[in-house]
Amino acid sequence: MSAYKSHPEVADRPTFLNRACDRTRPGLLASVLAWILLIAGLAVEPPSFGSTPTTPLSFERDIRPILKAHCFHCHGEGEKLKGGVDLRLRRFMLTNSESGSVLVPGNSAESLLLGMVASGKMPKGEKKLSSAETAKIQSWIDSGAPTLRPEPDKVARFFITEEERNFWSFQPIRRPQPPTSIPPSIGSNPIDHFLWEPLHQRGLGFANPAARGTLIRRVTFDLTGLAPTAEEVDAFVNDASSEAYNRLIERLLASPRYGEKWARHWLDVAGYADSNGGVSADSERPWAWRYRDYVIRSLNADKPWDQFITEQLAGDELVNPPLGDLQGDDLDKLIATGFLRLAPDPTGDEPADPDLAKNQVIADTVQIVATSLLGVTLQCAQCHDHRYDPIPQTDYYRLRAFFEPAFDWKHWKNPNARLISLMSAEDRHHASCLEHAAQAIDGDANRLQDDLIEEFVQKQLELVPAAMRGQVIAARKTPADKRTEEHKRLLGEFPTFQDQIILGEINAPGAKRVEEVRKRAAEIRAMKPIDPLVHCLAEEPGKAVETFLFHRGDHQQPAEKVAPGGLTVLQGLANDSALAPCSNSTRRTTGRRLQLAKILTDGSHPLVARVLVNRVWHHYFGTGIVPTLADFGMLGEKPSHPELLDWLASEFMSSGWSLKKLHRRILQSTTYRQSSVNTAAQAVDPDNRLLGRMRPRRLPSESIRDAMLAISHRMNTNMYGPSVPVAVSPQGQFVVGIQVRDKDGDPAGVDGIGGSEFRRSIYVRVRRSMPVGFMETFDSAGLSPNCEARAVSTVPAQALMFLNDHFVIERSTDLAERLRKEHSGDVRKQVDLLWKLLFSAPPSTEELQRSLVYLAEQNETLRAQAAVKTQEKPDLKAKPSAGEPDPSLQALASLCQVLWASNRFLYLD
Amino acid sequence: MNSRDKSSGLCSRRHFVQASAFGLGSMALTWLLQKDGLLAAPAMPDLKPRSFDMKPKPSHHEPRARAMISIFMVGGPSHIDLFDPKPLLKDYEGKKFPGELKFDNAGQASSKVLPGLWEFKKHGSSGIELSSLLPHLAKVVDDICVIRSMKTGVNNHHQSIYALQGGRISAGAPTMGSWLNFALGSQSQELPAFITLTHPEGGPELAERNWSNGWLPSLYQGVGVRPKEPRILNLDPPHYLKGSGQARQLELLRELNQEHLSQHPGELDLEARIASYELAARMQTAAKEAMDISGESEATRKLYGVDQEHTRDYATRCLIARRLVERGVRFVQIINNGQSWDQHSGLVKALPELCAKSDQPTAALVADLKARGLLDSTLVHWGGEMGRLPVIQNDLGREKIGRDHNTYGFTMWMAGGGIKGGMTFGETDEWGHHAVKDIVTHHDYHATILHLFGLDHSKVIYRRAGHELTLTDHKSARVVREIMS
C-alpha cells in the first residue's frame, strides 16, 4: 500500500470535461488501486481488479495493463513497431529485439524490458513507470514470467484481453440477491440491506432517522428544487400516520415542480443551451426551448426511459412525414431529437475553418451521447486507440457512423436552415397577405418622405442664384467621394445641399407624418401569425453517407470505411449483433439511430442502466456509487457497492425504466432518511463512502434562486415556452430581464418583464456567453460541450452575493413584506414564520430571543440613520410617503437576508 | 472536496470567532493578536495542518520571497522566436530536420527546419540575447533569469498546464497558489491570498482549474477576478446597511453558522464558507481600492502602457498585480485567454501582436517593483506550458506557417524574490528541441519556488486518507540553487 501512497487524484477527483483528450494520466491507475486498497480496508466490496499480494503475478492481470498504458503506443498498437519490439504478448517479447533479449523468463537482470524501464530510458518522455510498477515487472520476470493461459496464435493490431473483457462495467447486469440475515429493525428495503452489511462489518450502523422537519426539507428540495411551505412542514410533522412519508413522496412526485427539478439534471448532461456557442458571436438558438419543455413533460409523465432515450436518439424515425404537420405525441418525438442538436454549433457564424467546425459539432455530439448514456470516455479514441480502456479507434467511428447520415457533413445545413416549420397552410397564406399589405404601406411612406425632401430642396434652390442652380444640383447628386474641386467649392458655398438630407432635421411635422405611416406597416406585421419552428434533427431520405476512420482524428485524412456498431468489448453482451439494415421504408432513411436506441435500451446493455441509476444516486447522496459519473472505464473509480448498483439497474429496467419508481425505492430507504450525524461512522469513514449518515449537500444554484423566489412570494410558476431573456446590469452582471439600450445601442439598464423575470431558473435563457451571475457564482453547469457533474465551490464571490447583490436585497425586502402581511404587528410570529419558511423548523427559544434583539438593535440603527437623513433634507420632513424606506421593514429584511446567507439555508441537512 | 484532518481546527476557529463578536474592527484586531501569538507558537516540524485557516504560519527557513506574480501565458510561447537563439537553424532553413520529432498535430506537420523569424541581439550588461519582439524586456534583462531548459515532456496543453500549475499531469490537483497559502497562510486580512486576473477576451484553457484548490480544503481556492470593471461584483452594501447595519448582520450570521457547524463537526465546507464571509466582509472596503489604478501617477501609468490602446489591458492587470502584492496578496496570477500563444499557424502575424500587447507592461512590472524596493521579496514568473518546434507546421506560405508543440525544451523567465538577475540557465540542443543541459522540470520549478518561500517541498504535506500529499508528488525535484542570488 505504501507504494501507492502519493496519488490523491482519484478519491476527490471531480469529473472533468476535457474537450481534448487527456491522454496520459500518470499514476492514475496506481492511484485507483491505492484508493481501492484503502476502501477495501473499509470492508466495502473488495476490488476485483488488481491483484492482492497473495495471488501470483501474471502477464494478463498485472503486467499488460502497465505496458498498455506506458508502452503499447510505440510497441504494439502504433502504426510502426519501434525497434522491432512488440510488448502485446509474452511470446512476442521472447523474440530478440534489435538490441538484445526483451524478456528472459526467470532472469530480470538479462531482460531488456526491465533494464529499459528501471533505468528510465523507457518510456521516452517525462512520464516514467513508478517504482511499484517496475518492481512488479521485475518480480513477474523472476517468477518465470507466467501467463494465465496459452496466448492466442493470431492477434489483430488492437485486441482485447480476457481481463479487459472481464472488467466489472462490461459485465452483464445481474440481479444480485440482497444480503440476508439483516435485523428486522433495518426494514425491508433491499437498498438498506446492501448498505447495512458493509457498515455492520465495521461495527457501524445507520445514523438515527432525521428529524421530520429535516426530512421534509430534504425530500422537497431533492424532488422539486423548492422548500416546503410552512403549512406542509406543519402537516407532515404533526402527521403520526405511518403512511405520512409515503404520501409526502407521492405528493411531490405528482407536482409539476418535480419535472422542472429533474429535467435540469438531464439538461446538464445533455448540454442544453439557448445559444450556439463555439465562436464569440454565440448566436441565439431561439427554438431550443421546445426540447427543454419536452424533457420536463416527459419526466412529469414518468415516460419510461427506454422510450425517452429512443425518442431523443431517433424520434424522427418514429414518425411519418410531413414533419411540419405533426401534433401531440408525434410532434414530441420530433422535438426530442433536439438532444442531438445541443452541441456547440458555430457553423452558421462564419467559423474560421468551416469543415473543422462541422467535424467538431459531430465530435461533440458523439461525446455527449457517450458521456451521458454510455459512461465511457469514448472521445479519447477519436485520434488513437484508447490508452486505458479496451476501446479501439474504430469503435469511436462505429458510434459516429450511427449519426453520420443525419449529420451528413458534406451536405451540411447551418442551424437556421434546419428548423422545421409547424405553420399551417392557412396561417402561411394569412402571413403572406399581411406582409404584402405592409410592404404597400412601406412604399407609401417612402414616397411621402421623398416628396417632402424634394419639396424642401426646391425651396432652398430658390436661394441659389439661378445661373448656378444646375451646377449645385449636379454637385449634390454626385457621390461625396467623386465630387470635383468645383463641386466641393459650390457645396461649401451652399452647405444645405452638401449631405443626405434627413427629413426630421428640416421638417419635423413631415417626419412625424412619415413615421405614422410606417407605424401602420409595423402594426400590420405584428398581426402576422408567428411561425412556430422546431429545432431538431431529422434525417433526410436516401442518405447513404459513409463513415471513415479519420487518421489521427484529422477529418482531412479519411482512412478505412467503418460501419455502425457498438463497443467491441461488449460484443456478445449487448445486443448489437443484429445490425441488419434497418431502413425506414416510409421515410427511406437508414434507421441507424433507431437501431442504436434498440441496442442501448433492450435491457442487455451493461452500461446504460448502470450509468443512469448511478446519476440518480449521485443527486441524492452527493456521490455516485461510481463517483466518476461519466467514466466507468479503467480510469474511473470502482463502485463502492457494486451489487447495489446492479440491483438498482436491474430493478430500474424491470420496473419499466420508470424513474419515479426508482425515486420511491431510494427515498423510502432508511439510508436516505437517516440524519447527517453519526459520529462513529464519520470517524471511520470521513468520506462517507459507506453511507452511515447523510452528508450536508449545498443546494444547486437553481434551487437557491428558485427557493428565494418562492419563499418571498415572487415566483411566477408559469411553465414552458420561450426562454426568459438575460441582460447585462449597470453593475456589469448578467441578470434576468430585458436589456434597455441607450441611443447608441449600448446596454443602459435592465427592465423587468412583467413578472416573467421571476420564473423558475430552468426557464431562464442559457446564453453560453452570458451566464446569469447569480447562477454562475453558485456553480451552474459548464457547457463544453456538456456537464457531467457540477463543481461545488466556496468562494468569497458567493458571500458578497448574499451580502450585497440586488437580487438578494430585493427578495429579502419582498420576504419581509410577506411576513408583515401574514403576521401584522406580531414580530415573534414573523420570526417564527421566517424560520419555518427557510429551515422547515421553528426557531429555538434562544434563536427567537436572539432574533428579537437583533431586530430591535437594527431597527434602532436604521431609524437613527433615517433621522439624520431627514434632518439633512428638511424639505422632506413632512410625514413619510409610501415610497419612502421604512426602517423597521429594512431591519426585518436584513434579518431575512442573514438567514438566506446562512449555511442552514444553503445546505440540505 | 474535504480532508479528513479535523483535529483541533474547530476549537480554535470557534474561539477566534467568539473573540471577535464586536464586529469588524475588533475582528481585525483579534486577527492581528492571534497572528502574533501564532507566530510565537512552536513550529510544527512537518507543517502538519492542525486547522485549516488562513492565519500566517512559519516557514521552514528564512524566505526570500513573500509574494509571487505568475504571468502564465497559456498556449506555448515560441522560445525559438523569443528567448533561445539557434544559429544552426539558419543553415538548415527549409531543409529536412535530421532528427526525430514528436508532433501533436501530425496532420499538418512538416520536417522543414524553421529558424527563429526575428533577429536576436545582446542586451544589458549581462549580454543576454533576446529577440527583437521583446524590446522592453531587453531593458530589464539584467534583472531576470532566463531559464532555457524547461521540460515537462508531456506534449499536450492540458497535461503540461496541469504539470506546471499543480505538479501532476492530470486533473484534480491543487495549484501552486493554493499550496503556498496552505503552507504559509495569508498576509492580508482584507484580500484573498490567491487571485487570478483573467483576460477580457475570455478564460484560459482549463478555465478555473488554473487556480483550483484541488483536493485541498476549499478555503485555499483561488479567486478569479473579472477582466473588466467591476472586477469584483457586489462590493457595495445597500446604503442603509453600510457600516454598523451590515456589521450586525455579519455578527448574527457568524453565530448562526457556528451553531450549525457545531451540529456538523468536521464538515470542512461549512467551515470554509464561514471563513469566506469573514473575508468577503473585509474585501468590500479593501478590494475596490486595491483594484483601482486611478490614483497611480501619470508616469507609472505610462510606464506600464495604460495610456495605449493595445497595451492597456495587460498594463492594467500588471499594475493591479503590483497593488495586490503591496497589500499582502500572496499569489497573483495573470492569465491569457484560451491558449492564445498556441501558434500552429499564422505565427508571423500573431506572435508580434501578442508581444506588442504584453512586452511593455511585463517589463514595466519588473522595473516598477524594483524601483519600489518590492522586487527583492516578490517573485515574478513569465512563461507558458510549452515552447515550439524548430520546424514548420502548416506549410502553406509564409503568412500561414506555424510551429507545433514542444514540451521537451522551452523557456520561461523569473525575476526577484531571491532569483539572480542577468543570467541564463540551462540549454536546449542546437536545434532548440530538447533541453539538454541543466534541465528544469516542473517538479524542479516547484521545489525552487517553495524554497524561495522558505519551504522545503517535501515537507509541505497535506494528509488525506492515510496519504501524504505534496506539490512535487514525491517525484525527484531539485531546488535550482544556481539561479538564486
Distance CA B174, CA B156 (A): 19
CA quadruple A12, A14, A19, A23: dihedral, nearest 10: 10
Name the pLDDT band for A664 (thresholds 50, 70, 90).
very high
Task: Pick B267's closest partner by Cβ from A20, A696, A862.
Answer: A696
CA B143 to each of CA A105, A264, B124, B181, B380: distance values in angstroms, whole numbers, following the listed order: 58, 54, 10, 27, 10
Note whether A113 and A133 are same-domain residues.
yes
Cβ of A5 within 8 Å of Cβ of B468? The answer is yes
Choosing from A531, A558, A582, the residue where a domain stops is A531
**pLDDT on residue A385:** 86
Tell me which chain A residues have a C-beta less than 8 angstroms from the C-beta of B209.
Answer: 16
Establish if A150 belongs to a structural domain. Answer: yes
Interface size A-B, in CB pairs within 8 Å, comes to 235
Among the listed ranges A458-472, A695-709, B447-461, which one has the minimum average pLDDT value? A458-472
CA A12 to each of CA A556, A679, A779, B394: distance values in angstroms, whole numbers, following the listed order: 39, 22, 17, 41
Choosing from A132, A159, A186, the residue where a domain stops is A159
Establish if A745 belongs to a structural domain. Answer: no
Name the pLDDT band for A875 (thresholds 50, 70, 90).
low
**pLDDT on residue B33:** 34
**pLDDT on residue A576:** 52
Region B111-130: mean pLDDT is 96
In tens, the pLDDT along A11-67 reads 232 322 233 333 333 333 344 333 433 444 443 333 333 334 467 888 888 888 888
Establish if A462 belongs to a structural domain. Answer: yes
Note whether A485 and A442 are same-domain residues.
yes
Tell me which chain B residues have a C-beta less than 8 angstroms from the C-beta of A16.
Answer: 171-172, 209
**HEC readout, A452-475:** HHHHHHHHHHCCCCHHHHHHHHHH
In tens, the pLDDT along A53-97 reads 467 888 888 888 888 888 887 888 777 778 888 888 888 888 777
CB contact, 8 Å: B349 with chain A? no
A561 Cβ neighbours under 8 A, 6+ residues apart: A546, A547, A548, A549
In tens, the pLDDT along A165-199 reads 999 999 999 999 999 888 988 899 999 999 999 99
For the cut 70, the answer to whether the pLDDT of residue A118 exceeds it is yes
Establish if A102 belongs to a structural domain. Answer: yes
Note whether A387 and A520 are same-domain residues.
no
The per-residue pLDDT of chain A, averaged, comes to 87
Among the listed ranges A98-102, A632-636, A777-781, which one has the minimum average pLDDT value? A98-102
Task: Pick B272's closest partner by Cβ from A794, A885, A902.
Answer: A794
Note whether A42 and A110 are same-domain residues.
yes
Q: Which residue has the higher pLDDT, A510 or B379?
A: B379
Establish if A801 belongs to a structural domain. Answer: no
Note whether A11 and A135 are same-domain residues.
yes
Give the E-state strand segments of B43-118 in sequence order: 67-72, 109-113
Note whether A438 and A405 are same-domain residues.
no
CB contact, 8 Å: B269 with chain A? yes
Distance CA A492, CA A210 (A): 88
Region A792-808: mean pLDDT is 91
Note whether A473 and A367 are same-domain residues.
no
Domain count, chain A: 4
CB contact, 8 Å: B103 with chain A? no
CA B276 from centre of chain? 22
Q: Where are the domains of chain B?
A: 47-241+294-483
Provide, rounded to the nearest whole percent, the portion of chain B with pLDDT above 70. Answer: 88
In tens, the pLDDT along A699-757 reads 999 999 999 999 999 999 999 999 999 998 887 789 999 999 888 788 888 988 889 99
Establish if A477 belongs to a structural domain. Answer: yes
- Tell me which residue of A286, A72, B392 sits closest to A63, measured CA to CA: A72
Cβ of B235 within 8 Å of Cβ of A800? The answer is yes
Choosing from A516, A531, A546, the residue where a domain stops is A531
**pLDDT on residue A17:** 27
Establish if A885 belongs to a structural domain. Answer: yes
Among the listed ranges A366-375, A469-478, A529-538, B231-240, which one has the minimum average pLDDT value? A469-478
Cβ of B240 within 8 Å of Cβ of A885? The answer is yes
Q: Which residue has the higher pLDDT, A152 or A887?
A: A887
CA B208 from centre of chain? 13
Note whether A416 and A552 are same-domain residues.
yes
Cβ of B284 within 8 Å of Cβ of A804? The answer is yes
User: Strand B427-428 to strand B378-383: parallel, antiparallel, or no bridges (unpaired)?
Assistant: unpaired
Cβ of B252 within 8 Å of Cβ of A898? The answer is yes
**pLDDT on residue B21:** 30
**pLDDT on residue B53:** 84
Nearest CA in chain A to B249: A898
Please name the residues between 435 and 474 in chain B that touch chain A, using a CB distance below 8 Å. Answer: 441, 464-470, 473-474
Note whether A564 and A509 are same-domain residues.
no
Nearest CA in chain B to A783: B207
Note whether A416 and A443 are same-domain residues.
no
Among the listed ranges A39-53, A139-153, B104-118, B293-307, which one has the minimum average pLDDT value? A39-53
Nearest CA in chain B to A20: B158
Q: Are B6 and B268 in contact (CB under 8 A)?
A: yes
- Angle at which helices A393-407 and A592-601 pack, to 10 degrees? 130
Note whether A410 and A490 are same-domain residues.
no
Tell me which chain B residues have a C-beta less than 8 angstroms from the C-beta of A899.
Answer: 256
Task: Pick B107's closest partner by Cβ from A552, A677, A805.
Answer: A552
pTM score of the predicted model: 0.78
Helix, strand, coil shares of chain B, percent, nearest 5, are 40, 15, 45
* Fold designation for B47-241+294-483: Alkaline Phosphatase, subunit A (3.40.720)
- Angle at which helices A244-254 and A230-237 pack, to 10 degrees? 150
Name the pLDDT band for B465 (thresholds 50, 70, 90).
low
Q: Are B440 and B426 in contact (CB under 8 A)?
A: yes
CB contact, 8 Å: B380 with chain A? no
In tens, the pLDDT along A803-833 reads 999 999 999 999 999 999 999 999 999 999 9
Q: Are A320 and A248 in contact (CB under 8 A)?
A: no
In tens, the pLDDT along A779-789 reads 888 777 889 88
Q: Which domain holds residue A113?
A: 2-159
Region A282-296: mean pLDDT is 96
Provide, rounded to the nearest whole percent, the portion of chain B with pLDDT above 90. Answer: 69
CB contact, 8 Å: B260 with chain A? yes
Cβ of B280 within 8 Å of Cβ of A858? The answer is no
Q: Are B479 and B61 in contact (CB under 8 A)?
A: no
Enclosing H/E stretch for A16: none
Note whether A590 and A561 are same-domain residues.
yes
**pLDDT on residue A4:** 30
**pLDDT on residue A583:** 56
Task: Pick B245's closest partner by Cβ from A126, A127, A858.
Answer: A858
Torsion angles phi and psi, residue B55, rounded to 5: -65, 145
Residue A389's Cβ-count burial label (10 Å; 0-12, 13-18, 19+) is: buried
